[in-house]
Amino acid sequence: MSEKPKFYLTTPIYYPSDKLHIGHAYCTVATDTIARYKRLQGYDVMFLTGTDEHGQKIEDKAKAAGVTPKEFVDNIVEGPRGVKDLWKLMNISNDRFIRTTDGYHVKSIQRIFKRMYDNGDIYKGKYVGKYCTPCESFWTESQLVDGRCPDCGREVQDAQEEAYFFRLSKYAGRIQRLLEDTDFLEPRSRVHEMVNNFIKPGLEDLCVSRTSFTWGVPVDFDPGHVVYVWIDALSNYITALGYGNDQYHDFDRFWPADVHIVGKEIVRFHSIIWPAMLMSLDLPLPKKVFGYGWLLLSGGKMSKSKGNVVDPYILSEMFGVDALRFFLMRTFPFGSDGNFSNELLIQTINTDLANDLGNLVSRTTAMVGKYFGGQLPAGCGATGEEKDLAARAAAPETIGMLTAAVGPEKFDAELISLAAGLRGRYQQAMDAYAPHKALEEVFALVQRANKYIDENAPWTLAKEMEANGPRLAHMMYNLLEATRICGILLTPFMPGSCDKLFDQIGACKDCRTWDSAGVWGSLSTTAAVTKGDNLFPRVDMDKALEALDQAEEAARKAQLPPVEVEPQLSEQVDFETFCKCDFRAVKVKDCQPVKKSNKLLRFTLDDGTGADRQILSGIAMYYKPEELIGKTLVAIVNLPPRKMMGLESNGMLISAVHTEHGEEKLHLIMVDDAIPAGAKLC
Ligand code: MSP
């Protein structure tokens, strides 16, 4: 028995500093689609993903949240609606999940670091430069852009400390040749950027340890130093196979990786630092790094701090996981940036899935039900001539359509030749990491099949079943076959929906395979066809957009801390100054809204002096005037008078304020009604 070919592919491991957003889901779905495609082709696949859990950013966030860093990352990775839950929901078929806090990984990192130290590639020196905390990146003065981090544009801090360095400079020549002379890095446009921006200006040695924080892998031979997060993170691709540990034993089987799929901003780490590390460890290099583009929102990057992240949970729950997976792969050319919008998502669902694919399946299955009771007659399948045609159309050299026939057979010939050549065209696109192009090919067939229905007008043929029955059955068979081939090739993108599609057209296990996608006529002519539920219901754009807004707002609020209060002032006030403030109990005699203001209330107060005191207060959104009449409140009465909306205010009412789920709340301070008006508060 011959051994299956191997394929090892990875996603970047995610920082669990915040919940993941649609950009992260994009990368994982793309990698999952490729993994499923390779499995469909019969490869023995290893698909790795995970989380990159060390570093100062996580340490800081945990501190702010009042938990340990491990508790913090545990919650985002393993907790409800965390990273693992999201991948499960999105039907991600990773074979392994690595956390850089896993004990075996930590041990491997220490061994990797020691090995590079022992072979002279890591040495001790002094780090003087700039550090960008959010990016966990060191920069030299010359790399900064306008004095700021070249990756994120934020401010950088001066940093100077004793540190270990990796001799990256030693590998500059080999890396330049790797990038320029091979297909190691794709798309090719990224090669230019790496060579011109990073290698040609002179590759400097890389600072690979830190002493200013502790949340990292300790350098075991020099306590106080922790390993730089990128050395720790990049190594995951080999430690997860068992390199330097006994947890796994797959290194010889799967290394070198076939492809690391990474976002464009981390191409630098994967195409310069990672190969240099592997060269230092004397290990083979991965075969490819593919740097895909970003999903942008209104033209800009999504980020938690900008508050514009899109939640993949909400989208999956609202539109279905497969619709979301499909949209991500169909709409954005994988190597370039794309502009995400909810409108575009809904449009794609309606056009491609509901109108084109959904309609093809439901029309075909409904007609087989209506005209043939759900089972076509035996003998209506592919003719010998059609099989020949399909074989020629599937041959690699025949990309064009073969349309020699005339009459209704012309339509058959067009449909069959397009369907038979589809697998080859799809494969070309998928192998070039262009899933969007593969889908374009599939949808060309979906659209051709829908047109085929209109061209043949089966409803007219069905009026004279006796004469037209065989032609109608053959036509239905062709539609089922075209649908089946589309279903197979769509499986990596929408696994759940394609299973349902196969059940509806009666495709047996053997005619759901990669091999059978290349053989026209694989479906049994007498398969049981059932019109099931609509695979992709149409989405009402306006209603869905409104529901999305509400769901996003609710999720945003749920993530905010339940109660927030302003931090206390550190600046002290001397006692005498404080005593100058005259706080008094006041009773509300009258309270009225101020005309033309939706904020102000006008209070008439008894302050114990015998004369009425008027105070204006901007609290109309918190209280109805009538509910305050008779209450005893607290006012500071010796503030200078102030005019608001043409009215004079003499003092200020004292309230307590805080924020609840992001919303400001206010409570007037009300005291015991037994306290007389004018009583001094001290
Ligand atoms: N932890 C590092 C990767 C270490 S790999 C050894 C990291 N993590 S990350 O969580 O910040 O990003 C993970 C991936 O998500 C990156 O490839 C990044 O490009 C990608 N994306 C983050 N935002 C994105 C978009 N808006 N669009 C597409 N992908 C984006 O980097």
User: Which percentage of the chain shows pLDDT scores above 90?
Assistant: 82
Cβ neighbors of 603 (< 8 A, separation 6 or more) are: 588, 590, 591, 614, 615, 616, 617, 628, 653
Distance CA 175, CA 279 (A): 10
CA torsion through residues 646, 647, 652, 654, sign = negative
Ligand 1 atom at minimum distance from 296 CA: 26
Distance 303 CA to ligand 1 centre (A): 11
CA torsion through residues 138, 142, 146, 147, sign = positive
Q: What are the tokens at 452?
A: 């085929």
Answer whether 0.85 is exceeded by the pTM. Answer: no
Tell me, what's the pLDDT at 406?
Answer: 61
Place of tokens 């070039």: 432
Confidence grade of residue 416 (pLDDT, cut at 50, 70, 90): very high
Distance CA 334, CA 75 (A): 31
Ligand 1 atom at minimum distance from 14 CA: 10
Nearest C-alpha to atom 8 of ligand 1 is from which residue? 14
Q: Is the CB of 297 under 6 A from ligand 1?
A: no
Q: How many CB atoms lie within 10 A of CB 550?
A: 11
Q: Is the CB of 336 under 6 A from ligand 1?
A: no
Tell me, what's the pLDDT at 404?
Answer: 61
First CA to last CA across the chain, in angstroms?
Answer: 92
Q: Is the CB of 506 under 6 A from ligand 1?
A: no
Distance 15 CA to ligand 1 centre (A): 8
Nearest C-alpha to atom 23 of ligand 1 is from which residue? 23
Q: Is the CB of 13 under 6 A from ligand 1?
A: yes
Average pLDDT over residues 298-308: 68
Q: What are the tokens at 456?
A: 């043949």
Q: Is the CB of 23 under 6 A from ligand 1?
A: yes
Distance CA 176, CA 186 (A): 14
Q: Is the CB of 12 under 6 A from ligand 1?
A: yes
Distance 24 CA to ligand 1 centre (A): 6
Q: Is the CB of 288 under 6 A from ligand 1?
A: no
In whole angstroms, how far apart are CA 659 and each of 269, 564, 670?
Answer: 41, 5, 20
Distance CA 314, CA 311 (A): 6
Q: What is the mean pLDDT of the chain?
A: 93
Q: Is the CB of 27 under 6 A from ligand 1?
A: yes
Place of tokens 């082709």: 41
Place of tokens 């993530």: 559
Cβ neighbors of 82 (< 8 A, separation 6 or more) are: 16, 19, 75, 76
Tell me, what's the pLDDT at 2?
Answer: 63
CA torsion through residues 324, 326, 331, 337, sign = positive
Confidence grade of residue 393 (pLDDT, cut at 50, 70, 90): confident
Nearest C-alpha to atom 6 of ligand 1 is from which residue? 234
Is 70 exceeded by the pLDDT of residue 166? yes
Beta bridge partners of 339: 296
Nearest C-alpha to atom 13 of ligand 1 is from which residue? 14
Tell me, what's the pLDDT at 84?
Answer: 98
Cβ neighbors of 511 (< 8 A, separation 6 or more) are: 484, 522, 523, 524
Is 70 exceeded by the pLDDT of residue 467? yes
Q: How many CB atoms lie within 10 A of CB 348?
A: 20
Distance CA 87, CA 32 (A): 10
Distance CA 307, CA 559 (A): 12
Average pLDDT over residues 161-179: 96
In whole angstroms, how far apart are CA 630 and each of 589, 604, 622?
Answer: 6, 11, 17
Confidence grade of residue 566 (pLDDT, cut at 50, 70, 90): confident
Tell me, what's the pLDDT at 392?
Answer: 87
- pLDDT, tens digit, for every residue of 41-85? 999 999 999 999 999 999 999 998 899 999 999 999 999 999 999
Q: Which residues of 289-310 are buried (b: 16+ CB within 10 A; e: fewer)?
A: bbbbbbbbbeeeebeeeeeebb
C-alpha dihedral (171, 173, 174, 179), degrees to nearest 10: 120
Distance 505 CA to ligand 1 centre (A): 40
Nearest C-alpha to atom 16 of ligand 1 is from which residue? 263
Out of 242-246, 381-385, 602-606, 635-639, which region has the weakest mean confidence (pLDDT)? Answer: 381-385
Ligand 1 atom at minimum distance from 27 CA: 29
Q: Is the CB of 262 under 6 A from ligand 1?
A: yes
Q: State the number of CA atoms in the 13 A half-sphere of 543 facing the CB.
A: 5
Q: Is the CB of 52 under 6 A from ligand 1?
A: yes
From 17, 24, 105, 311, give the residue whose CB has the most ligand 1 atoms within 8 Å, as the site to mutate.
24
Distance CA 112, CA 221 (A): 12
Distance 164 CA to ligand 1 centre (A): 26
The values of phi and psi at residue 420, to 5°, are -70, -30
Q: What are the tokens at 635?
A: 């006012």
Look at strands 185-186 and 289-292 and give their pairing: parallel
Q: Is the CB of 272 under 6 A from ligand 1?
A: no
Instruction: Kindly tell me the burial class for residue 392, based on how many C-beta atoms sit within 10 Å of its own C-beta (0-12, 13-18, 19 or more).
Output: middle
Out of 74-78, 105-109, 234-238, 395-399, which region has the weakest mean confidence (pLDDT)? Answer: 395-399
Distance 14 CA to ligand 1 centre (A): 6
Tell me, what's the pLDDT at 228?
Answer: 96
Beta bridge partners of 680: 584
Tell me, what's the pLDDT at 567?
Answer: 83
Ligand 1 atom at minimum distance from 265 CA: 19
Q: What are the tokens at 36?
A: 């499923």
Distance 23 CA to ligand 1 centre (A): 8
Distance 12 CA to ligand 1 centre (A): 6
* Helix%, strand%, coil% for the chain, nearest 5: 45, 20, 35
Tell me, what's the pLDDT at 306?
Answer: 59
Q: Is the CB of 15 under 6 A from ligand 1?
A: yes
Distance 436 CA to ligand 1 centre (A): 20
